[in-house]
Amino acid sequence: MAGILAWFWNERFWLPHNVTWADLKNTDEATFPQAEDLYLACPLAFCIFMIRLVFERFIARPCAMGLKIQTNGPQKAQPNAILEKVFTAITKHPDEKRLEGLSKQLDWDVRTIQRWFRQRRNQEKPSTLARFCESMWRFTFYLYIFTYGVRFLKKTPWLWNTKECWYNYPYQPLTVDIHYYYILELSFYLSLLFSQFTDIRRKDFLIMFLHHVATLSLIVFSYVNNMARVGTLVMCLHDAADVLIEAAKMANYAKCQILCNLLFAMFAILFISSRLGVYPIWILNTTLFESWEIIGPYPSWWVFNLLLIMLQLLHSFWSYLIVKTACRAISKGKVGKWNPLHVSKDDRSDIESSSDEDDSPPPNQKHHTSATNGTNKNHGTNGYLIGAPFPDEH
């Protein structure tokens, strides 16, 4: 184990040439980032998760009730032992051949069976109330941490001149503000990483998981090798757009469509301009070029910049989806239903919310086919109601 730790913390990987860990030990004159500082994030992540539960129960839920947000979940599918067995043991998305077999076995028409499976899938999804509470929690945290970041950074020289991130590197003392900012961000993203398995399940689960891992890796990397100054810029820049998207989702759940449209338009503009404009011009420029000129590259420098570039690729992917979904919504006159950080509805296999499904119960016999067809006249070609809200984003 000692050999593994010695290999992992190799100074030639983590630090610039002629710098050792002994040079960055805390003294009476200066305090530097220490890897063991980050251990505090694990219990804090648990505390943040517990605070979230209390917040959603005693603050977000009463707010949602005051806005008359529905507490009921999706309509339950009609009990059927055969379909339930197929759903739980075989597949939640039966193909055409299986649907035809079930139709003959149950004497139901295919469309009725398709609707049953949609309702059964939706039955496991949370209510609008739960979605609102989750978004309100994230909105509150992002608003707090972004406000803190702005108030802290406006007093620092590296906000106005990014070369200050590299002068006297790595012998830049760790301030209380930077330490608090880092530990809180790290704890929050750790809580998000683990709560992905308990929160609303999304189709971009793996993409968001990759995003959280990249974010956590960047936070840890930048802290351990004392690139904390540029790290604070990256964190503050990313928190700005997150505030608006969570506010837009809250407005959508509260059925304040005009406010939702306005907030999402602001989000789209800010997201694309900050992630595709400010981020590469301001952040990548200083980490790739200014740092090269002032301190030169070393192994962990390459890894750090690789993670930043990976983040830029995710920004480009999400920006493409925002523009694509917004253009589609505008062209169809459905501005209020765009889906900011997810694949749009036509590109996803199963993004059904509780309001996306037909509310009528499935008939028991084939002679109800005409009634079933009638209820689906309000659906588009992809099976969604015209008035369905956009699904959630992380």
pLDDT, tens digit, 9 for 90 and up, residues 250-259: 999 999 989 9
The pTM for the full model equals: 0.77
**Contact partners, residue 188, CB within 8 Å, separation at least 6:** 45, 48, 141, 145
Provide mean pLDDT across the span 177-187. 96
- Residue ranges and CATH numbers for the domains of the chain are 31-66+127-330 (no CATH), 81-124 (1.10.10.60)
Concatenating the DSSP letter of every residue in 65-83 gives HHTT-----SPPPPP-HHH
> 266 vs 42, 137, 394, CA distance in Å?
34, 20, 17
Q: Which of the four pLDDT bands, split at 50, 70 and 90, describes residue 70? A: confident
Highest-scoring range by mean pLDDT, 25-29, 144-148, 380-384: 144-148
Say if CB 86 and CB 98 are below 8 A apart.
yes
Q: How confident is the model at residue 88 (pLDDT cuts 50, 70, 90)?
A: confident
C-alpha gyration radius of the chain: 25
Q: Across all residues in the chain, what is the average pLDDT?
A: 82
Residue 245: per-residue pLDDT? 94
How far CA 340 is from CA of 105, 149, 170, 194, 311, in Å, comes to: 42, 25, 39, 23, 17
Mean pLDDT calculated for residue range 219-246: 94
| Res 211 pLDDT > 80 | no
For 338-362, what is each residue's pLDDT tens digit? 444 333 333 333 333 333 443 444 4
206 pLDDT exceeds 90? no
